[in-house]
């Protein structure tokens, strides 16, 4: 009876114990890492191909110094010029010849062509501010000056002022991208990338506006340019105040890019709602601390002949980066996590989205894949971590006890078999 119990009941007990332990451990691991997995301060990039070293540069021959310039003989001063006799003024002509009035309807196109060429030359000579990076490389492409910088494996092109036009309406800033200038910059950036196999990412940065205290930004990009940026794998960035909007490759689905290519326009609208939230919000079943104002994000396709339509669903979505205010950073504790959340004014529960937070710079980066309202929030994870430790210790202790109990019973079985072996020979000898 004991052997039957050990062979059938004991394995069933150990199997049940291991299943319970696995369920408890997985539940705990999900609770602990549900919010902490979003706190990696750096973006994990896919491994790149190894850099193939280029051939060493062969030093050129030293420059031979030229012979010193022989000074010429001093110039002999000439005789002073003797002033001529003063001219006697003549009497005015009583019948002056009339002078023809200038014509403003000149039909000669030669002067107009010269004026246009001068304007183009002036446009080409507009100087853009130098970026604060080392070793900038300036390249001219079709009348626009593109300044590129290389940092690690990322080649960044700083677009000139001609690449965007800014207009304001109240607190709304509208930035209209010049497709011709950016298209020329793309060709230049690709040519620069071909010079080095170590470059893995291309970024084009639009110039910032000098307008401050903006509550809404509207970035308008020609649809054909959006499609071209996606095909070439180039990211377009636009920064205003403490916020950056990035249009990365694969942001939308293939069908959306086909629609944009047919003469339409992409509008990325980011608007801040300065109203103060009055209700208490919940994040991960705990009270949340609001770190920013509510802001709405929309991606819209504009068509001159049809009503505008929102892009839904998106693929990778619109990438946003925002800096926390000094007050918000001060309110963070050591064990706080910072996440971007979708906000619904009729619901107190916040839904977090994947967020990368740089604690040194105080910048949160996240992707928006649907139009709606969002905000930044934080919560403490110390209490949850302390409870999670118990869930790990208890299953581990049960496993250890089960293994010890199993080996103890097995040793007893082996001893019983040995004792029976000694008893059987004595019984046989007695017979």
Q: What is the pLDDT of residues 14-37, one digit of tens each?
A: 777 776 676 666 655 555 444 444
Report the distance separating Cα 415 and Cα 423, nearest Å: 12
Give me the mean pLDDT over the 245-262 stretch.
95
Determine the distance from the C-alpha atom of residue 234 to the mean position of all C-alpha atoms in its chain, rounded to a whole number.
12
Percent share of the chain, pLDDT over 90:
44
Task: Determine the average pLDDT of the residues in 109-137.
Answer: 35
Longest dimension (CA), the chain: 172
pLDDT tens-digit series, residues 49-100: 444 444 444 444 444 444 544 444 544 444 544 444 544 444 545 454 444 4
Which residue matches tokens 């509208």?
174
Distance from C-alpha of 214 to C-alpha of 272, rounded to nearest angstrom? 9
How many residues make up the chain in this entry? 431
Say how far apart CA 426 and CA 431 lie, in whole Å: 9
pLDDT in tens, 254-291: 999 999 988 899 999 999 998 878 788 999 888 999 99
What pLDDT band is residue 294 in, cutting at 50, 70 and 90? very high
Nearest CA to 217 out of 316, 129, 318 is that of: 318
Angle at 82 between CA 80 and CA 86, to 5 degrees: 150
419: left (phi over 0), alpha (psi -120 to 50) or beta: alpha
Kind and range of the H or E run holding 252: none
C-alpha pair distances (Å), 413 with each of 399, 425, 427: 21, 19, 21
pTM: 0.59
């Amino acid at each position: 009876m004991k052997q039957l119990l050990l062979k059938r009941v004991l394995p069933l007990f150990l199997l049940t114990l291991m299943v319970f332990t696995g369920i408890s451990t997985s539940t705990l691991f999900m609770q602990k890492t549900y919010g902490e997995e979003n706190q990696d301060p750096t973006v994990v990039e896919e491994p790149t191909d190894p850099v193939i070293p280029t051939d060493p540069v062969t030093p050129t021959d030293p420059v031979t110094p030229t012979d010193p310039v022989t000074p010429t003989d001093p110039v002999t001063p000439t005789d002073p010029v003797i002033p001529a006799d003063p001219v006697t003024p003549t009497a005015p002509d009583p019948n002056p010849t009339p002078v023809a009035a200038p014509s403003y309807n000149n039909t000669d196109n030669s002067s107009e062509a010269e004026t246009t060429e001068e304007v183009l030359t002036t446009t080409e000579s507009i100087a853009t501010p130098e970026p604060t990076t080392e070793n900038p490389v300036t390249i001219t492409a079709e009348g626009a000056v593109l300044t590129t910088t290389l940092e690690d494996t990322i080649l960044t092109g700083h677009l000139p002022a001609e690449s965007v036009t800014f207009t304001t309406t109240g607190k709304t800033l509208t930035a209209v991208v010049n497709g011709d200038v950016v298209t020329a910059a793309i060709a230049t950036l690709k040519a620069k990338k071909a010079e080095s196999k170590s470059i893995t990412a291309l970024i084009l940065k639009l110039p910032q506006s000098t307008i401050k205290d903006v509550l809404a930004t509207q970035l308008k990009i020609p649809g054909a340019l959006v499609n071209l940026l996606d095909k070439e794998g180039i990211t377009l960035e636009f920064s205003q105040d403490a916020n950056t909007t990035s249009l990365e490759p694969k942001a939308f689905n293939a069908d959306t890019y086909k629609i944009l290519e047919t003469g339409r326009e992409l509008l990325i609208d980011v608007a801040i709602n300065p109203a103060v939230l009055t209700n208490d919000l919940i994040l991960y079943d705990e009270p949340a601390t609001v770190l920013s104002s509510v802001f709405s994000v929309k991606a819209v396709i504009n068509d001159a002949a049809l009503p505008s339509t929102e892009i839904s669903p998106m693929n990778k979505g619109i990438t946003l980066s925002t800096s926390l205010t000094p007050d918000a950073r001060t309110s963070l504790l050591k064990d706080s996590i910072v996440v971007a959340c979708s906000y619904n004014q009729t619901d107190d529960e916040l839904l977090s989205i994947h967020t990368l937070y740089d604690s040194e710079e105080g910048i949160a980066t996240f992707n928006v894949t649907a139009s709606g309202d969002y905000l930044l929030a934080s919560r403490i994870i110390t209490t949850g971590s302390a409870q999670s430790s118990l869930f790990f210790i208890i299953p581990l202790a049960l496993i250890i006890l089960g293994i010890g109990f199993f080996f103890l019973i097995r040793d007893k079985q082996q001893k019983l078999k040995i004792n029976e072996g000694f008893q059987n020979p004595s019984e046989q000898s007695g017979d």
